[in-house]
Amino acid sequence: MAAVYSFKNSMRSASNLFRLQIIRTLLLRSASESVKLHKFTDSDSGILEVNLKSPEAKNSIGKDMLIGLKQALETVNADPVAKVLLISSSVPRVFCAGADLKERKEMTASEVRNFVHSLRSTFSYLEAIRIPTIAVIEGAALGGGLEMALSCDLRICGKDAVLGLPETSLAIIPGAGGTQRLPRLVGKSVAKELIFTGRKVDSADAFSMGLVNHCVPAGEARVKALEIAREIIQKGPIAIRMAKRAIDGGLEGDMESGLALEEECYAQLLPTMDRLEGLAAFAEKRKPNYNGQ
């Protein structure tokens, strides 16, 4: 009887889990018409792409898009096969135009505070995702759109890109990480000028100040991002995750604590099969076959 009871409980748990997965899938589909998640296959397996698709609103971030973005990022972070994430747009000449100001206008001050808090938390979650992230910027990346790109590890833009944090023009400040991430990337003085003036910069200026990693001909940012992603997925996946952790965590403290973190991350790689595979492949003059173990 005990065995029958245990079997029934197991079946019930499996059934409940299956229903929850179906519900989560349906919620993701219903809540994210403006956010699509795509998984590459075959030789590009391990590359995922979150695509923003809200042409009427120029990919401005409202409640629905934020829900979809949160759920997509959670799905990516929980995927054991994921190695690199691209964030792109299918709307011509727009990456993300920032907050949905039409929706914002109808909110109370308390609702705005809660929404911005949720947006800030989502971008912090994006920044902390365990795998490398690449923002693919074609056209406008303004306000919250640039803050989202700043939360990624790398930024690739086309020559028609326009980037800026124009919030002071609306008598507010960047509230989803812009005041913190921009100066860490381009320096305090440059960041202050851009935020104080709300000035938009073109792709050439963005590249020269270090705001983006690469500037390519218009329409080719995704091609360049995929090129970089394909380079990354050839490397040891655990090593990539540890490198990201060491860099991000090390910058939060002094050199001594950063070196201690580097040592800790390195130590976690010593017992891995991937490390031994890398040494064997080097000795045998062949391409390594890493499996993330």
Q: Is 147 a catalytic residue?
A: yes
Q: In 79-140, where does DSSP find H-type helix? A: 101-105, 109-128
**Cα–Cα separations (whole angstroms), residue 169 to 99, 165, 172, 174, 197:** 14, 9, 7, 11, 8
Considering the candidates 31, 97, 99, 176, report the single residue annotated as catalytic: 99
Q: Is 193 a catalytic residue?
A: no
Considering the candidates 144, 158, 164, 175, report the single residue annotated as catalytic: 144
* Among 128, 84, 130, 127, CA closest to 228: 84
Measured distance CA(217)–CA(215) in Å, rounded? 7
Considering the candidates 57, 68, 72, 147, report the single residue annotated as catalytic: 147
Instruction: Check the CA dihedral 185-160-158-174 and report its sign.
Output: positive
**Cα–Cα separations (whole angstroms), residue 43 to 74, 227, 234, 285:** 24, 12, 10, 21
Which residue, chain included where needed, has tokens 């994210």?
32
* Among 191, 73, 64, CA closest to 130: 73
Output phi, psi for 217, to 5 deg.
Answer: -55, 150
* Among 14, 110, 27, CA closest to 64: 27
Q: Is 167 a catalytic residue?
A: yes
Beta bridge partners of 49: 38, 86
Measured distance CA(35)–CA(109) in Å, rounded? 27
Considering the candidates 98, 139, 167, 176, report the single residue annotated as catalytic: 167
Q: Name the DSSP class of 287.
A: -
Q: Is 253 a catalytic residue?
A: no
Contact status, residue 131 vs residue 241, Cβ threshold 8 Å: yes
Q: Which two tokens stand for residue 137?
A: 């910027």
In angstroms, how far is CA 129 from the centroid of its own chain? 7
Question: Which positions are annotated as active-site residues?
Answer: 99, 144, 147, 167
